[in-house]
């Protein structure tokens, strides 16, 4: 993330201090009364700035800014965002550290661990208990005994005083090494806590994480443990790899929009057809529970998105939700509707932000895996180096003891009268055999030899000691060999983990390419729109004739006889008055035919509505007009009968309109006639005089 050098460093170890005022400015007396207008004050250098007081920096403003920046940095670094080194948030790290310190292989009351963790975590016990329960439910690091809730049903855990926990064998072996752990004082200075744990696991992607800090947030989706180990082997072998999320709840997942830890995935429930009238949900999407899923299905049923008779939850150790369909409903179509309108399918966004070197950094899954692999190699090398030093120290110690006893150097101290003489006698005695030793003899070595008991001297077994020395030498050779081939050693380590835990952590989420669900096709006949002409109401909950069926996703167009029209969504009941002329599903490109009268002149037009804003009044005619013909069907001819007038020679006419151009909704149209029209139709009406020799109608051009 970029950093503006002109701005204070949000993540600096030392907080920014408020800027001090000059002596000249500090000595200046304050104004006795505040001015009514925004006053101007001198800046910190004592120069008139000419700015309003609320824009001037001063001690209080600097204090507020500094405290806010300190708080923001604290929330980002020490609360909400996990560290890339061990993949943990501070509260998780402190919980695991507390469990490690108290670990004796037995279960411990959660309440005790919560209380112990509070020595390191300066926040409430509830947040610690919640974080511990979440770690137990992720299964990798902490083993629980008792009711820790249910991730499938959303049931809450029992109170911390009733449940117990302990470290798993995986955490015990791979998370801790006191010799390699860097510690710092706790928040009150009374204890020491680790900066990060020497974790050899790709824990950040194993557990996943969510956190909201000041100005940024992170959401890391969990991945499969075994696949992560295989990806690390690929990194060590310099081969390509691909990783996708994996969820404990199972389900199906479409990763077409997943961009290496960013972007999003779509997850679906696994739905099976039990029989023609029953569906069974066996797995649910990550982030949902059986309760939330059932609620979404019931809500969709109330809104008539799906048609079901009942829903039953038989979830126990595994998920089993039965959905009973109404008679005649298609099981396959209902499954598609469940994916479209309920939580049976949800999108999950991913935004991989981590703390690296005490600063927030945006990364990809590939970068995290490569970083974790590099850190693994470093930790393995440090462990080998530490083991080598221990073996060397043990070899040196055993060799010294052997020399001390075999050569009876302890006899040299019998005549010594002071402690200094004793230590010097031992030192001189063992230094005669310096060539057998791997390093110089120190005073600590002398103290160790003086601590050898007489009983051990009398029972000293030379052959056993030599065998132990040989074993140490062999172990040293193995350690040196591994230090010389760290990559192969790391691969062997990862393969050992895979062999041990492969059966315990299989992939649970299936990866599939989802077919797009056509929502309009599923809901095409969802609503029956009715028109109560007598009372002037229109909608799906109106008593009246069914005009058409539509989807709740459709848009409807209403046209009134004065030319006014409006675009709306389908409503349960809306007042449209008695002058409504036309209602239909909106199609911006559909060709409409209209004949209207304006100031005694009749006009004809073909038009399309085009782009229209929802719930805004428009007009397709001139002001103060009256539509006498309106149709959305193709029109080739218009039949007109004129009102009887004295000396009227042409009583009826046919207008050919097939070739007329389609115009915009605001166009005036073509003038048809100034005669008063008695009847007009697009088909030859009853009573039409076919023997009438009147000429065909002709319209005036615009």
Q: What is the pLDDT of residues 267-304, one digit of tens each?
A: 999 999 999 899 999 999 999 999 999 999 999 999 88
User: What single DSSP character describes residue 351?
Assistant: B
Residue 17 confidence class, pLDDT cut points 50, 70, 90 = very low
Tokens matching residue 252: 């199906």
Q: Quick one: pLDDT at residue 449?
A: 86
Q: Quick check: 167 and 92 in contact, CB under 8 A?
A: no
Q: What mean pLDDT is reported for the chain?
A: 87
Q: Are residue 651 and residue 550 in the same domain, yes or no?
A: yes
- Give the Cα separation of 659 and 696 in Å (integer): 15
| Residue 421 within any structural domain of the chain | yes
Q: What is the pLDDT of residues 83-120, one digit of tens each?
A: 999 999 999 999 999 999 999 999 999 999 999 999 99
- Kindly provide the b/e burial profile for residues 552-584, where b requires at least 16 CB atoms within 10 angstroms of the residue's own CB: bebbbbbbbbbbbbbbbebbeeeebeeebbbbb
- Give the Cα separation of 484 and 478 in Å (integer): 10
Q: Quick check: 278 and 290 in contact, CB under 8 A?
A: no
Helices (H) and strands (E) in the chain, counts: 17, 36
- Give the Cα separation of 236 and 176 in Å (integer): 23
Residue 591 confidence class, pLDDT cut points 50, 70, 90 = very high
Q: What is the pLDDT of residues 296-350, one digit of tens each?
A: 999 999 988 888 999 999 998 889 999 999 988 889 989 999 998 999 999 999 9
- Give the Cα separation of 666 and 607 in Å (integer): 9
Domain encompassing residue 311: 270-343
> What is the average per-residue pLDDT within 562-581?
93
Q: Are residue 485 and residue 534 in the same domain, yes or no?
A: no
Q: Are residue 568 and residue 597 in the same domain, yes or no?
A: yes
The CATH number that applies at residue 428 is 1.10.268
Residue 64 confidence class, pLDDT cut points 50, 70, 90 = low
β-strands 574-575, 537-539 pairing:
antiparallel
Reference 377, options 486, 280, 244, 222; nearest CA is 486
- Give the Cα separation of 598 and 561 in Å (integer): 12
Q: Quick check: 234 and 269 in contact, CB under 8 A?
A: no
| Residue 153 within any structural domain of the chain | yes
The CATH number that applies at residue 327 is 3.30.1360.40
Q: Are residue 637 and residue 582 in the same domain, yes or no?
A: yes
Residue 694 confidence class, pLDDT cut points 50, 70, 90 = confident
Reference 377, options 457, 303, 274, 483; nearest CA is 483
C-alpha distances out from residue 686 to 602, 640, 645, Å: 22, 12, 21
Residue 41 confidence class, pLDDT cut points 50, 70, 90 = very low
- Give the Cα separation of 22 and 58 in Å (integer): 11
Q: Quick one: pLDDT at residue 553?
A: 82
Q: Are residue 525 and residue 665 in the same domain, yes or no?
A: yes
**Which secondary-structure segment (H or E) carries 498?**
helix 486-501
% of the chain at pLDDT higher than 90: 61
Q: Are residue 337 and residue 451 in the same domain, yes or no?
A: no
> What is the average per-residue pLDDT within 159-180?
95
Lowest average pLDDT, out of 198-202, 454-458, 695-699, goes to 454-458
Lowest average pLDDT, out of 43-52, 524-533, 619-628, goes to 43-52
Q: Quick one: pLDDT at residue 67?
A: 66
Q: Quick check: 325 and 283 in contact, CB under 8 A?
A: no
Q: Quick one: pLDDT at residue 65?
A: 66
Domain boundary residue, one of 199, 222, 248: 199
Q: Are residue 424 and residue 491 in the same domain, yes or no?
A: yes
Domain boundary residue, one of 144, 179, 199: 199
- Give the Cα separation of 510 and 271 in Å (integer): 13
Q: Are residue 128 and residue 154 in the same domain, yes or no?
A: yes
- pLDDT score of 36 more than 60: no
Q: Are residue 483 and residue 523 in the same domain, yes or no?
A: no
C-alpha distances out from residue 269 to 289, 300, 419, 516, Å: 11, 16, 79, 15
Tokens matching residue 494: 């990862």
DSSP 277-292: TEEEEEE--TT--HHH
Who has greater pLDDT, 522 or 15?
Answer: 522
> What is the average per-residue pLDDT within 10-38?
45
% of the chain at pLDDT higher than 70: 88
**Residues designated catalytic:** 162
Give pairs for 521-528: CB < 8 Å, separation 24+: 522/333, 522/336, 522/337, 522/340, 523/305, 523/551, 523/552, 523/553, 524/549, 524/550, 524/551, 525/549, 525/550, 525/551, 526/304, 526/305, 526/550, 526/551, 526/552, 527/304, 527/551, 527/552, 527/570
Domain boundary residue, one of 166, 199, 232: 199
Residue 502 confidence class, pLDDT cut points 50, 70, 90 = very high
Who has greater pLDDT, 156 or 17?
Answer: 156
Q: Quick one: pLDDT at residue 23?
A: 42
Residue 413 confidence class, pLDDT cut points 50, 70, 90 = confident
Who has greater pLDDT, 500 or 31?
Answer: 500
Q: Quick check: 243 and 259 in contact, CB under 8 A?
A: no
| Residue 329 within any structural domain of the chain | yes
What residues are paired with 270 via a beta bridge?
283
User: What single DSSP character describes residue 171?
Assistant: H
Q: Quick one: pLDDT at residue 464?
A: 82
Chain centroid offset of residue 414 CA: 75
- Give the Cα separation of 323 and 389 in Å (integer): 65
Tokens matching residue 46: 């004592």
Q: What is the pLDDT of residues 349-385, one digit of tens each?
A: 999 999 898 888 899 999 999 999 999 999 999 999 9
Q: Are residue 650 and residue 603 in the same domain, yes or no?
A: yes
Tokens matching residue 343: 């939580």
3-state secondary structure of 122: coil
> Can you give the pTM of this predicted structure?
0.76
If one counts the domains in the chain, the total is: 4
- Kindly provide the b/e burial profile for residues 291-302, where b requires at least 16 CB atoms within 10 angstroms of the residue's own CB: ebbbebbeebbe
How many other CB atoms are found less than 10 A from the CB of residue 500? 12
Lowest average pLDDT, out of 18-32, 108-122, 425-439, goes to 18-32
Who has greater pLDDT, 23 or 393?
Answer: 393
How many other CB atoms are found less than 10 A from the CB of residue 111? 16
**Which secondary-structure segment (H or E) carries 501?**
helix 486-501
Q: Quick one: pLDDT at residue 71?
A: 65
Q: Are residue 576 and residue 662 in the same domain, yes or no?
A: yes
Q: Are residue 469 and residue 524 in the same domain, yes or no?
A: no
- Give the Cα separation of 253 and 255 in Å (integer): 6
Q: Quick one: pLDDT at residue 516?
A: 72
Q: Quick one: pLDDT at residue 137?
A: 95
């Amino acid at each position: 993330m970029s950093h503006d050098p002109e701005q204070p460093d949000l993540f600096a170890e030392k907080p920014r201090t408020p800027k001090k005022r000059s002596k000249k400015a500090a000595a200046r007396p304050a104004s006795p009364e505040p001015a009514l207008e925004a006053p101007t004050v001198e800046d910190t250098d004592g120069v008139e700035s000419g700015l309003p007081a609320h824009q001037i920096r001063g001690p209080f403003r600097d204090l507020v800014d500094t405290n806010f920046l300190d708080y923001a940095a604290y929330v980002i670094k020490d609360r909400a965002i996990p560290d890339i080194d061990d993949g943990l948030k501070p509260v998780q790290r402190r919980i695991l550290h507390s469990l490690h310190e108290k670990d004796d292989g037995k279960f411990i009351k959660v309440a005790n661990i919560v209380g112990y963790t509070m020595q390191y975590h300066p926040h409430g016990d509830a947040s610690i208990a919640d974080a511990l329960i979440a770690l137990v439910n992720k299964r990798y690091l902490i083993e629980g005994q008792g009711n820790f809730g249910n991730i499938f049903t959303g049931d809450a855990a029992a109170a911390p005083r009733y449940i117990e926990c302990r470290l798993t064998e995986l955490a015990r072996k791979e998370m801790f090494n006191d010799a390699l752990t860097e510690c710092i004082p706790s928040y009150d200075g009374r204890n020491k806590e680790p900066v990060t744990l020497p974790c050899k696991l790709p824990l950040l992607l194993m557990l996943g994480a969510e956190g909201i800090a000041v100005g940024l947030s992170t959401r890391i989706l969990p991945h499969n443990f075994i696949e992560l180990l295989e990806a690390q082997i690929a990194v060590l072998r310099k081969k390509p790899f691909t990783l996708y999320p994996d969820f404990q709840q199972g389900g199906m997942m479409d990763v077409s929009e997943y961009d290496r830890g960013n972007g999003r995935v779509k997850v679906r429930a696994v739905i099976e057809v039990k029989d023609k009238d029953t569906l069974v949900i066996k797995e649910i999407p990550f982030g949902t529970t059986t309760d939330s899923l059932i609620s979404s299905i019931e809500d969709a049923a109330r809104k008539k998105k799906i048609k079901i008779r009942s829903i039953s939850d038989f979830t126990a150790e595994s998920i089993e939700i039965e959905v009973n369909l109404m008679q005649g409903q298609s099981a396959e179509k209902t499954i598609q509707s469940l994916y479209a309108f309920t939580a049976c399918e949800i999108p999950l966004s991913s935004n991989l932000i981590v703390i690296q070197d005490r600063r927030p950094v945006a990364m990809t899954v590939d970068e995290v895996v490569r970083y974790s692999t590099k850190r693994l190699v470093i930790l393995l090398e440090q462990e080998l180096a530490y083991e080598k030093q221990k073996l060397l120290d043990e070899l040196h110690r055993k060799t010294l003891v052997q020399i001390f006893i075999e050569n009876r150097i302890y006899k040299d101290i019998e005549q010594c009268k002071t402690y200094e003489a004793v230590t010097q006698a031992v030192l001189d005695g063992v230094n005669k055999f310096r060539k057998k030793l791997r390093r110089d003899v120190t005073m600590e070595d002398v103290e160790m030899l003086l601590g050898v008991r007489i009983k051990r001297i009398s029972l000293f077994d030379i052959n056993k000691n030599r065998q132990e020395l040989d074993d140490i030498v062999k172990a040293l050779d193995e350690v040196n060999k591994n230090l010389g081939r760290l990559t192969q050693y790391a691969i062997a380590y990862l393969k050992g983990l895979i062999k041990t835990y492969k059966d315990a952590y299989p992939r649970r989420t299936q990866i599939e390419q989802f077919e797009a669900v056509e929502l309009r096709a599923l809901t095409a006949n969802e609503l029956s729109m009715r028109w109560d002409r007598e009372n002037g109401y229109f909608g799906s909950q109106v008593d009246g004739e069914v005009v058409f069926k539509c989807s709740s996703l459709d848009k409807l167009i209403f046209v009134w006889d004065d030319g006014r029209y409006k675009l709306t969504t389908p409503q349960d009941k809306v007042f449209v008055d008695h002058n409504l002329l036309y209602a239909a599903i909106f199609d911006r490109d559909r060709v409409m035919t209209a004949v209207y009268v304006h100031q005694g002149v009749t006009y004809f037009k073909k038009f399309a509505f085009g782009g229209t804003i929802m719930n805004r009044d428009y007009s397709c005619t001139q002001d103060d007009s009256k539509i006498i013909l309106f149709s959305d069907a193709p029109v080739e001819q218009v039949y007109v009968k004129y009102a009887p007038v004295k000396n009227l020679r042409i009583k009826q006419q046919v207008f050919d309109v097939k070739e007329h151009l389609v115009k915009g909704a605001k166009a005036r149209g073509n003038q048809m006639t100034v005669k008063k029209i008695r009847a007009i139709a697009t088909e030859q009406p009853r009573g039409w005089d076919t023997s009438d020799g009147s000429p065909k109608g002709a319209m005036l051009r615009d």
